[in-house]
């Protein structure tokens, strides 16, 4: 089913929901990898590490969040047009603000508790966790603003994505309210949306160049790996913030230019698939060669490869979805309906299984792959099960999980 010209917000593009839940599963895979790398800011560290998991984590980190911001931007404009400014803000506060508060105060603390356990010799029990949680809640609002140098400063945890998305929606809504001159009127969108695939390809390559230059410029001042926190409300990487803004705006642009409407593809699938494959090879050769980032991240070469790899992944996934994944199976519908809650609860579940598997001590390198696979499978199963059979049945606000809001 495709969007109609007359009521663009009333229909649903299945493939974008499919790509969205796939990206959330990739986020889960990313978090499952980190325990088996030497990345310092993580909740549980397994005694064994291997560079392969660093490669998987770095590649998935390139494209997952930008694609999620693109999809959010794509549906922002029709949602705003349908609900109006007040309704749009109320809906986003309900859908994003409430889960953020519950996530930071209830969902995330167990992961930090297990991190403390690895550094402090205490017995894991309900009473010790309860005491830890009470102490945690006594300082629910952190006023610290600056670089993150230790894990406890990462107060929003993975809910930084939700708070940042809420900030994007509010700013976009205010901007749209003040001035809509940069957006084509509804009566002219059909004509303006008829850009050829060749022209769209040129615009996308310019977009890739802009993100490359921006990433390189910011990375020269603030290294890509550096995180900053703004109290309890927001954690961010300056280089990524720039990319997320760009991809959110690209999503808005894509809707305004009628990408995917009436069966129209915005570009060439074969080109982007080939480009993505070649850039993936280049990313491995220039950035790894069997080592952990063997070239500095502050080079322009790294910025170009990474930025265009991100763009090529976006176009490959959405064009593949549009052409081959626009009908929903039962599994697609199940994961699409539960993907938002899966994102909220998955990290704690991942960390719990990572922690449990630290007690499996062996010198066999193959055990790391088995641990990694089991963490992924068990985390997906438990996250989906808790969402579908424990949380959603008792929700009082089913509209929180409507598609394409």
Residues in CB range of 243: below 8 A, 6 or more apart: 66, 211, 214, 215, 307, 310
Please report which residue ranges of 93-196 form alpha helices under DSSP H.
98-102, 109-119, 126-137, 160-178, 189-192
Question: What does the pLDDT read at residue 383?
Answer: 97
Give the max Cα distance, the chain: 67
CA 215, 218, 220, 223 torsion: positive or negative? negative
The dihedral formed by the CA atoms of 36, 42, 45 and 48, expressed in degrees to the nearest 10 = 20
DSSP conformational letter for 233 = T
Tell me the backbone φ, ψ of residue 297, rounded to 5 degrees.
-75, -10
CA distance 241 to 247: 10
Residue from 54, 74, 64 nearest 9 by CA: 74
The string over 362-390, giving b where at least 16 C-beta atoms fall within 10 Å of a residue's C-beta and e elsewhere, is eeeeeebeebbeebbebbbebbbebbbee
Question: What does the pLDDT read at residue 68?
Answer: 97
Question: What does the pLDDT read at residue 171?
Answer: 94
Inter-helix orientation angle 238-256/160-178, to 10°: 50
Question: What does the pLDDT read at residue 97?
Answer: 92
Average pLDDT, 10 consecutive residues per value, the chain (405 residues): 38 88 97 90 86 90 97 94 90 92 88 75 74 77 72 74 94 83 49 66 94 93 83 83 96 91 79 95 74 58 93 96 92 95 96 92 85 97 94 63 51
Task: Write the burial class of residue 208 (CB in 10 Å: 0-12 exposed, 13-18 middle, 19+ buried).
Answer: buried
């Amino acid at each position: 089913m495709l969007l109609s010209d007359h009521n663009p917000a009333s229909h649903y593009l299945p493939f974008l929901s499919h790509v969205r839940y796939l990206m959330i599963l990739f986020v889960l895979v990313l978090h499952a990898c980190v325990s088996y790398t030497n990345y310092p800011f993580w909740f549980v560290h397994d005694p064994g590490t291997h560079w392969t998991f660093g490669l998987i984590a770095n590649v998935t980190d390139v494209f997952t969040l930008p694609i999620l911001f693109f999809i959010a931007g794509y549906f922002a404009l029709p949602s705003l047009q349908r609900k109006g400014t007040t309704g749009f803000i109320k809906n986003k506060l309900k859908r994003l603000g409430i889960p953020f508060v519950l996530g930071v105060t209830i969902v995330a603390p167990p992961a930090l508790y297990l991190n403390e356990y690895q550094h402090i010799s205490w017995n894991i029990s309900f009473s010790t966790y309860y005491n830890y949680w009470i102490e945690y809640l006594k300082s629910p609002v952190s006023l610290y603003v600056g670089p993150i140098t230790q894990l406890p400063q990462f107060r929003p945890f993975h809910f930084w994505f939700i708070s940042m998305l809420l900030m994007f929606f509010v700013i976009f809504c205010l901007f749209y309210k003040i001035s809509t001159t940069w957006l084509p009127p509804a009566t002219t969108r059909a004509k303006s949306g008829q850009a050829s695939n060749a022209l769209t390809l040129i615009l996308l390559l310019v977009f890739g160049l802009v993100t490359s230059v921006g990433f390189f410029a910011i990375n020269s001042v603030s290294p890509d790996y550096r995180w900053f926190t703004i109290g309890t409300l927001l954690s961010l990487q300056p280089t990524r913030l720039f990319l997320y803004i760009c991809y959110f705006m690209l999503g808005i642009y894509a809707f305004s230019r009628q990408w995917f409407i009436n069966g129209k593809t915005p570009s060439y699938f074969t080109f982007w698939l080939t480009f993505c494959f070649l850039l993936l090879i280049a990313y491995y050769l220039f950035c790894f060669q069997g080592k952990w980032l063997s070239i500095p991240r502050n080079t322009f070469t790294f910025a170009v490869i990474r930025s265009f790899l991100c763009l090529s992944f976006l176009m490959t996934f959405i064009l593949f979805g549009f052409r081959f994944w626009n009908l929903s199976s039962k599994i697609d519908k199940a994961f699409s309906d539960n993907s938002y809650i899966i994102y909220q609860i998955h990290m704690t579940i991942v960390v719990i299984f990572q922690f449990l598997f630290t007690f499996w001590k062996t010198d066999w390198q193959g055990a790391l792959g088995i641990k990694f696979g089991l963490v992924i499978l068990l985390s997906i199963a438990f996250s989906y099960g808790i969402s579908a059979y424990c949380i959603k049945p008792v929700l009082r606000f089913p509209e929180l999980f409507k598609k394409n809001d």
